Chain A
Amino acid sequence: MSKARNAILERLRAGRGDQPLQAPASDFSVVRDRDWSLTERLERFETTISSVNGEVHRVVEEVWVQHLWALMAAKGLNNLLVAPETVLGQQLLQQQQASGPELRTYRDPVEHWKSELFNGVDAALTGCRGAIAETGSLILWPTVQEPRLMSLVPPVHFVVLRADQVYCTFYQALAEQGWADQGMPTNALLISGPSKTADIEQTLAYGVHGPRELVVLVLE
């Protein structure tokens, strides 16, 4: 234990003296109490994420892969980074088309193919752990199968969201998924739209360091 640590903690304890400091009770109702129906939640999610240039497509589950191929063709994307071990990845691999985009997988540690990942991948597809209606956010917990950089480095990020996984608020998502109790992953993310900046005279520009486009496929 370092000298600095002890000195800082000692000063803090001395400052407080013998009187424990009091804080008012925290009433979370203002960030908790929302009672929106599933339809309303989906609508709010869609409106909010669209307002920051997120693209939302509602598709029937059986045809989502075909829908994705069509979107990729329309956007002129030649390859897609996928997680082959996930259910979504399996579906993609099974329905791969000979004339369709090339599918790539994130099999090796990033150090082995950094340049390729940064310069050669057009788009990536990941799942998510749900979404938040109030802020138009997607919840991602990157995993061994879907590493952190999949949702960050390729210029286009496709996310598959199940329609029944939309929570009203961040507070509700935290509580219902039991984040604090189960222990946090190495990295947890809320993603609300494509990367953006307003650092040049308050003018919005998209795709500054992360993806230029965020495309959400809502499976109904």
Chain B
Amino acid sequence: MTQTSTLSDVREFHPRVRTALDNPQIRSNFRNAMDGLMGKRQKAFDGWDLDKLRDLGAAVRLRALARLPELLERLEANCIRQGIQVHWAETGEQACEIIGDICKARQARTVIKGKSMVSEEMELNHYLEEQGIEALESDLGEYIVQLAEETPSHIIMPAIHKNTTEISDLMHERTGTERSHDVDYLTASARQQLREKFMTADVGISGVNFAVAQTGTLCLVENEGNGRLTTTVPPCHIAVTGIEKVVEHLEDISPLLALLTRSATGQHITTYVNMISGPRRDAELDGPEAVHLVLVDSGRSSVYQDPELMDTLRCIRCGACMNHCPVYTRVGGHAYGTTYPGPIGKILMPHLLGLDSTRDLPSASTLCGACGEVCPVRIPIPTLLQRLRKESVDGDRLRPSVVRGHGSKRHWKEVLAWNAFRWIFASPGRYRLLGMLMTRFRAFTPSRVGAWSRYRSAPKPAARTLHQLVNERAKGGGR
């Protein structure tokens, strides 16, 4: 129910990384899970022309983004025609208020939730609680995370940072179940507790995986059935989604589904693909009487202003970039301090929160390129990371840029150093003078140079320059 993505927390990236690296339990939980997921993904694409499938996935998403405003209007018109009420929110706070108002108008006391990362992003549970409305997560992973009063550490597997013992202890303390390593028993206990809630909840809130403009259809992908219960049993269903989730045609979801579930967990498909196109119609015996769709911008239209950074919006939230990231695997999801961790978080969160508070994220990468190689919709994540690194130091805040807080990492010492470098290296005389000084006085160079020497020895100039060595060699008749 609490959120870690407050600004002051995001800034504490390095201390959190050190804590995470010192925790062998976290390291082994993530390492085991990520190794397994990488293997499953690879196996799931056996027999596929993966390059061609990724080309198609990218093309479908690019087409949706190219026509984004028109498709949003078309989605809205089709949804309204089918009885879905559509709301627009510029910020997360606005979206929370819209949802809160819907709940209040229905005098709702309890809300049951299916998994939704956008609702995590806008800290919806926290908001609803302040309004006196109980919001209960029903996805097993989210339920565990909520019991622990934590936030998800992975966008697909929210409780991946915990092992069975930790979960058993947690459920014992919070809900009174027996301590057990029997996953079937733990799952059955959670099922029992949540069934009651499903039956009595006033409102169900879910996310959306794809919103189809052509047919006004909200597509939800899940394995547990909690998403279907959330969207079917309570009298009111509120779906909340980022504006970038729209696709043009119904057929467009077929390649995206093929990519999403295989990339995420190595499944050919999830147990349920739930396509909702309206509230309960005449004579139908179940389903909600009201369906609302809340379209959330929250920084996305700003990303849309830049043709290169726009690629971030292609993301279908599969989490493959995390599973394959050497940094994520070692530090885990909580170290990032943001709703979306890992490579996608590093290129998305600076837009949502501003680069001033997320300045360390684009640098938390080895640029090994694995994320870009596995991305099912071919987002050039490494290129975007480099772009954001540049944005964080390039220019000052007065220069126009679509990234909030750009230039916030710029430091006068660094600027001075590079200007001096340019001044010296542009003139042969000054260059030779520097070489002479550096070799003579090399004993005086500092043995500690900031972050560089934390894990490495500081660079020390050689006793003679390369020029000198080459010249001596030439005189000595060497080759």
Whether the pair A187, B232 counts as a contact (CB closer than 8 A) is yes
CA distance A169 to B286 in the complex (A): 29
Whether the pair B269, A184 counts as a contact (CB closer than 8 A) is no
Q: Is B415 an interface residue (CB 8 A)?
A: no
Whether the pair B271, A195 counts as a contact (CB closer than 8 A) is yes
Residues of A within 8 A of B59 (CB): 23-27
Residues of B within 8 A of A208 (CB): 140, 187, 190-191, 223-226
Listed stretches A12-20, A55-63, A122-130; interface member: A12-20
Given known A-B contacts A23-B63, A201-B164, A106 and B285 have beta carbons under 8 A apart: yes
Whether the pair B252, A199 counts as a contact (CB closer than 8 A) is no
Q: Is A35 an interface residue (CB 8 A)?
A: no
Whether the pair B226, A209 counts as a contact (CB closer than 8 A) is yes
CA distance A184 to B281 in the complex (A): 12
Q: Is B52 an interface residue (CB 8 A)?
A: yes
Q: Is A68 an interface residue (CB 8 A)?
A: no
CA distance A109 to B49 in the complex (A): 47
CA distance A25 to B295 in the complex (A): 27
Q: Is B304 an interface residue (CB 8 A)?
A: yes
Q: Which of B186-225 contact A (CB under 8 A)?
A: 186-188, 190-191, 194-195, 198-199, 214-217, 223-225
CA distance A196 to B223 in the complex (A): 5
A16 → B minimal CB distance (Å): 8
Residues of A within 8 A of B417 (CB): none
Q: Is A135 an interface residue (CB 8 A)?
A: yes
Q: Is A118 an interface residue (CB 8 A)?
A: yes
Residues of B within 8 A of A48 (CB): 268
Band of interface residues on A: 35 or more
Q: Which of A1-22 contact B (CB under 8 A)?
A: 2, 4-5, 7-9, 11-16, 20-22
With an 8 Å Cβ cutoff, the count of chain B residues facing the other chain is: 103
Given known A-B contacts A24-B59, A148-B232, A170-B254, A187 and B287 have beta carbons under 8 A apart: yes
Q: Is A89 an interface residue (CB 8 A)?
A: no
Q: Which of A179-220 contact B (CB under 8 A)?
A: 179-180, 183-203, 205, 207-211
Whether the pair A186, B276 counts as a contact (CB closer than 8 A) is yes
Kindly report which residue of chain B lies nearest to residue A188, judged by CB atoms: B275
CA distance A183 to B78 in the complex (A): 10
Kindly report which residue of chain A lies nearest to residue B279, judged by CB atoms: A186
Selected from A26, A180, A197, the residue in CB contact (under 8 A) with B56 is A26
Whether the pair A180, B249 counts as a contact (CB closer than 8 A) is yes
Selected from B167, B199, B267, the residue in CB contact (under 8 A) with A114 is B199
Q: Is A93 an interface residue (CB 8 A)?
A: no
Most buried by A among B144, B158, B276: B276
Q: Is A175 an interface residue (CB 8 A)?
A: yes
Residues of B within 8 A of A198 (CB): 157, 223, 265
CA distance A16 to B307 in the complex (A): 8
Whether the pair A26, B63 counts as a contact (CB closer than 8 A) is yes
Residues of B within 8 A of A171 (CB): 251, 254
Q: List 18 A-B contacts (CB under 8 A).
A: A4-B297, A8-B88, A8-B243, A12-B68, A20-B66, A21-B62, A23-B62, A27-B52, A107-B285, A171-B251, A187-B232, A187-B274, A189-B272, A199-B158, A202-B157, A205-B184, A208-B187, A209-B226
A sample of 18 more A-B contacts (CB under 8 A), given A5-B88, A202-B36, A211-B225, is A8-B90, A11-B297, A11-B305, A14-B305, A21-B66, A107-B285, A136-B269, A144-B283, A152-B232, A180-B215, A180-B251, A183-B215, A186-B277, A199-B139, A200-B187, A203-B183, A209-B191, A210-B272
Q: Hey, which bits of chain B sit against chain A, CB under 8 A?
A: 29, 32-33, 36, 48-49, 52-53, 55-56, 58-60, 62-63, 65-69, 72-73, 87-90, 94, 138-141, 144, 157-160, 162-164, 167, 183-184, 186-188, 190-191, 194-195, 198-199, 214-217, 223-226, 228-229, 232-233, 235, 243, 249-252, 254-255, 257-258, 265, 267-281, 283-287, 295, 297, 301-302, 304-307, 310
Q: Hey, which bits of chain A sit against chain B, CB under 8 A?
A: 2, 4-5, 7-9, 11-16, 20-31, 48, 52, 106-111, 114-115, 118, 134-137, 143-144, 147-149, 152-153, 169-171, 174-175, 179-180, 183-203, 205, 207-211
Closest 3 CB pairs of A and B: A210-B225, A199-B141, A21-B66
